[in-house]
Amino acid sequence: MGMIVQKFGGTSVGSIERIQHVADRVMSEVQKGHQVVVVVSAMGKTTNQLVDLAKQLTSQPSKRELDMLLSTGEQVSIALLAMALQEKGYAAVSLTGWQAGIKTETVHGNARIIDIDTTRIHQYLQAGQIVIVAGFQGVTEKGDITTLGRGGSDTTAVALAAALQADKCDIYTDVTGVFTTDPRYVKAAKKLEEISYDEMLELANLGAGVLHPRAVEFAKNYQVLLEVRSSMEEESGTTVKEDVSMEQHLIVRGIAFEDQVTKVTVQGLPHELPMLPTVFTALANRGINVDIIIQNTTNSGAAAVSFSIRTEDLPETLQVLESFKGAKIEYESQLAKVSIVGSGMISNPGVAAQMFQVLADKGIEIKMVSTSEIKISTVVSQENMVAAVEALHTAFQLDEKAAVRS
Amino acid sequence: MGMIVQKFGGTSVGSIERIQHVADRVMSEVQKGHQVVVVVSAMGKTTNQLVDLAKQLTSQPSKRELDMLLSTGEQVSIALLAMALQEKGYAAVSLTGWQAGIKTETVHGNARIIDIDTTRIHQYLQAGQIVIVAGFQGVTEKGDITTLGRGGSDTTAVALAAALQADKCDIYTDVTGVFTTDPRYVKAAKKLEEISYDEMLELANLGAGVLHPRAVEFAKNYQVLLEVRSSMEEESGTTVKEDVSMEQHLIVRGIAFEDQVTKVTVQGLPHELPMLPTVFTALANRGINVDIIIQNTTNSGAAAVSFSIRTEDLPETLQVLESFKGAKIEYESQLAKVSIVGSGMISNPGVAAQMFQVLADKGIEIKMVSTSEIKISTVVSQENMVAAVEALHTAFQLDEKAAVRS
């Protein structure tokens, strides 16, 4: 008997029928003798509908009031799930973020959790109750409601698991686990039995989309054992933990990719302006997220810098850059980023060379490269994206059954 | 310059356009230099939609969880109204019941307000902010969300006005004020300029539906000056206060009526059962609301009791009564209750006699009578209801212009 935190996303609680199904999932853990804390998101499209209401009133809603508005979505879900469990004969109680003691900084729309006072949750658990907590929300010291931003419910679940010293945190989602790459694009994609926090973090940041990076970081810091699994199917999912047993055998654990990438190159800035801080401070001030950055020196000795952005940010990026007198700007859109991730790279030199060779063999031109200890990213043209992923998936032995145990 | 509490009901905030209109109403008071606290209900049919969701899960939702669910409705409204005011350039902040310091008993679904800690509201008002408070909700000492039951937002507004010692509490609604009788049925109905708390209380209890009786009671206890007025039209409404200037001239201030009344008569209960406590305890335990009660003694000396109920409660009432062995039950449906209300009655004997004469002159049979200090109620057949109201409206000089000043 132990304590489990379960998290169900918006799709999993998207209708009355699905909420009843979630109740079944919760009950099956209770029947095993576990204490269960459940974190839920807002039902289906609720959050978007609430944002639409606000947008009808103002193009720039106050973030405090937006948090006040959006936090109602999870409050509806927790009450309904509690009712569903009670109807099935189980003792359950719902708690909003503030009732669950989730204290955050005073940053509306994207608050970080500072502390969780678990007194009330513990009282209910000790009284034999299933505790249902609203994800994505907390409260400031002053008593204002905050939301945690994207992936906030994952973060709530992991933070609660850490604060309660739960044995496990199960993240229920609409896929059966973490895959070697996106199975919607690559048929050979395989579900991973295990993955390390660091690998998951790189995959999450690269847009694998299963788990929010903030939640993974939190789990790593507090060594919370995670399992990513399907809310619809019974099969076991992917465990995320510190040490992964197959690390030695599998150099590359997954391949992430995203399209809609644009490469921008700037040169010719006035000499009195230091190139890198000038450009990237200006972009950051406009909230433009820059990914890969490469500094070149041209033959003439003039400084040039290239970087990648999401294509949707291109118009604003050009606007920023054009404000610099004399700047010469080039850009190339319809690109994609393809990255291989694996902690095995640390002890295996030559992985980058192998990656480049695989792409070269397929006649795929590499337009940018960026590396970290456990990740190598390349930018290629969008039309080559899937071919690149497939070739790398095969070359790094991810197609093979041996790589996977599920 | 003073402090005003304004309350807007669900219809008044039923759409984005209406919320913008409410914002205009709030701004016009701010422009006059007043400090303004606004209480709002949930948008339009939101509460019913939330109840429907719960009913899909369980026929008897836990009252705690239902409060958790329903309280989101007002939270959406307050956030949207704050945004609407901010968009128009006004400083506004929204507060849920618990944030506004509204403490209630631990009675879910129908909690009474125990105390209001106005510290936070005062801080915002002093900082020049418009404070928007969620109606209908509060929080228990333990930190659970409660709702105040029917008419709860009216109660919130009046209680806040009392706690803040506001100069005035304006209840905005979809009618222009309190009328001598329902203008939808009686063309001669006139809007009253003033009405006393006691008269309003009798009219509210009798189904006039403009103001909830709990709110009126609260206003009377704390001497809160109320005005009932239209959220759509500019004209002034009806003031509700302790002493009404026209009291001496107007014996009857209003005529209330409701159809769907059924009269039930019971006799022949076993001798060992005390009639009145037995019958009415059994009915109360089933939540059946009994209105007029008349105890008779038949010629044979057997005890008999007659009472009126809402016709919708008839099946359950019969079920309760039939459980008493030997009980002889009669009932008559398709009845209506017509009541005259006015504090002038106290000093004017013979009002009841006059009422009976007016009805007799019209050939209307009176089936039950009940009186209080400022009210006389009669039960008549449903088909005579409007004729009775019209005759009484004329007889007690309510048709005349002199009775009204608006």
User: For B137-186, how does the pLDDT look when each residue is reduced to its tens digit (9 = 90+)?
Assistant: 999 999 999 999 878 999 999 999 999 999 999 999 888 889 999 888 88
- Report residue A246 as tokens: 């197959």
- Report residue B130 as tokens: 């418009």
- Asked whether residue B307 carries a pLDDT value surpassing 80, the answer given is yes
Q: Which residue of A has its CA nearest to B58?
A: A87
Using the beta-carbon criterion (under 8 Å), do A72 and B68 form an inter-chain contact? Answer: no
Q: How many CA atoms lie within 13 A of B309 on its CB side?
A: 21
pLDDT of residue B402: 40
Specify whether the CB–CB gap between B390 and B255 falls below 8 A: no
Inter-helix orientation angle A275-285/A314-322, to 10°: 130
CA of B89 vs chain A CAs: smallest distance (Å): 11
Helix (H) or strand (E) run with residue B116 in it: strand B113-116
Q: How far apart are CA B100 and CA B75, in angstroms?
A: 12
Nearest Cα to Cα of residue A148 among A250, A81, A243, A70: A70
Q: Left, alpha or beta for A321 (phi > 0: left; psi -120 to 50: alpha)?
A: alpha
Q: Which of A46, A50, A65 to mutate to test the interface with B (most CBs of B within 10 A)?
A: A65
HEC string of chain B equals CCEEEEEECCCCCCCHHHHHHHHHHHHHHHHCCCEEEEEECCCCCHHHHHHHHHHHHCCCCCHHHHHHHHHHHHHHHHHHHHHHHHHCCCCEEEECCCCCCEEECCCCCCCCEEEECCHHHHHHHHCCCEEEEECCEEECCCCCEEECCCCHHHHHHHHHHHHCCCCEEEEEECCCCCECCCCCCCCCCCECCEEEHHHHHHHHHHHHCCCCHHHHHHHHHHCCCEEEEECCCCCCCEEEECCCCCCCCCCCCEEEEEEEEEEEEEECCCCCCCHHHHHHHHHHHCCCCEEEEEEEECCCCCEEEEEEEEHHHHHHHHHHHHCCCCCEEEEEEEEEEEEEECHHHHHCCCHHHHHHHHHHHCCCCCCEEEEECCEEEEEEEHHHHHHHHHHHHHHCCCCCHHHCCC
Query: Is B137 in a helix, a strand, or coil?
Result: strand
Which tens digits make up the pLDDT trace of A145-179?
999 987 899 999 999 999 999 999 999 988 888 99
The minimal CB distance from A68 to the residues B50, B94, B98 is found for B94
User: Domains of chain B, with CATH numbers?
Assistant: 3-174 (3.40.1160.10), 255-403 (3.30.2130.10)
**B119 in contact with A at a CB cutoff of 8 Å?**
no
pLDDT of residue B207: 56
Residue type at B120 in one-letter notation: R
Backbone angles phi, psi at B401, to 5 degrees: -60, -35
Confidence of residue A350 (pLDDT cuts 50, 70, 90): confident
The minimal CB distance from A72 to the residues B64, B76, B99 is found for B76
Chain B 59-88, residues with CB within 8 Å of chain A CB atoms: 61-62, 64-66, 68-69, 71-72, 75-76, 78-80, 82-84, 86-87
Nearest Cα to Cα of residue A33 among A154, A167, A164, A233: A167
- Report residue B307 as tokens: 């009472």
Confidence of residue B384 (pLDDT cuts 50, 70, 90): very high
- Asked whether residue A301 carries a pLDDT value surpassing 90, the answer given is no
Contacts A56 to B, Cβ<8 Å: 16
Alpha-carbon distances, residue A132 vs A33, A327, B61, B140, B404 (angstroms): 17, 55, 16, 19, 56
- Asked whether residue B25 carries a pLDDT value surpassing 90, the answer given is yes
CA of B153 vs chain A CAs: smallest distance (Å): 19
Using the beta-carbon criterion (under 8 Å), do A16 and B68 form an inter-chain contact? Answer: no
Record the pTM: 0.83
Percent of chain B surpassing pLDDT 70: 93
Identify the DSSP state of A244: -
Specify whether the CB–CB gap between B333 and B364 falls below 8 A: no
Using the beta-carbon criterion (under 8 Å), do A64 and B145 form an inter-chain contact? Answer: no
- Asked whether residue A387 carries a pLDDT value surpassing 70, the answer given is yes
The minimal CB distance from B69 to the residues A50, A66, A79 is found for A79
Q: How far apart are CA A26 and CA A38, in angstroms?
A: 8
Higher-confidence residue of B193 and A298: namely B193
Task: Return the number of other C-beta atoms located less than 10 Å from residue B283's C-beta.
Answer: 20
pLDDT of residue B344: 80
**A58 in contact with B at a CB cutoff of 8 Å?**
yes
pLDDT of residue A347: 76
Specify whether the CB–CB gap between B352 and B276 falls below 8 A: no
Q: Which residue of A has its CA nearest to B133?
A: A68
Using the beta-carbon criterion (under 8 Å), do B76 and A62 form an inter-chain contact? Answer: no
Question: Is 0.95 exceeded by the ipTM?
Answer: no
- Asked whether residue B4 carries a pLDDT value surpassing 80, the answer given is yes
Q: Which of B62, B123, B130 to mutate to test the interface with A (most CBs of A within 10 A)?
A: B62
> Which of A149-153, B91-95, B185-189 is most confident?
B91-95
